[in-house]
Structure 1
């Protein structure tokens, strides 16, 4: 596969910039909503810790 030409690199950069600008209003709204949301970290951390312990147990059994 040939390396990208300069115009292709510029086109990829412009498309990436447009995607960032397109998603930025939604990201700002989500950040504002997450600040107001209830902080319920134990609901995420407990299952994650259980899964990690289970995987370590499985790796030790093999």
Structure 2
């Protein structure tokens, strides 16, 4: 099975690429954008993990 066909592959690659970026060479606004994108991708990754629904204590009010 090709690993690129697994759920979350592109999300993982994007997060990995952002984490490997040398932010010391970027200016302030670009650093902020990288930090925000990394945070958002980490949050999405937590929500899309197969076991995420089992690990959370969150409740949904109807």
**Normalised TM-score (structure 2):** 0.39
Rg larger for: 1
**Normalised TM-score (structure 1):** 0.39
Q: Name which structure has the greater RCO, CA cutoff 8 Å, separation 6+.
A: 2
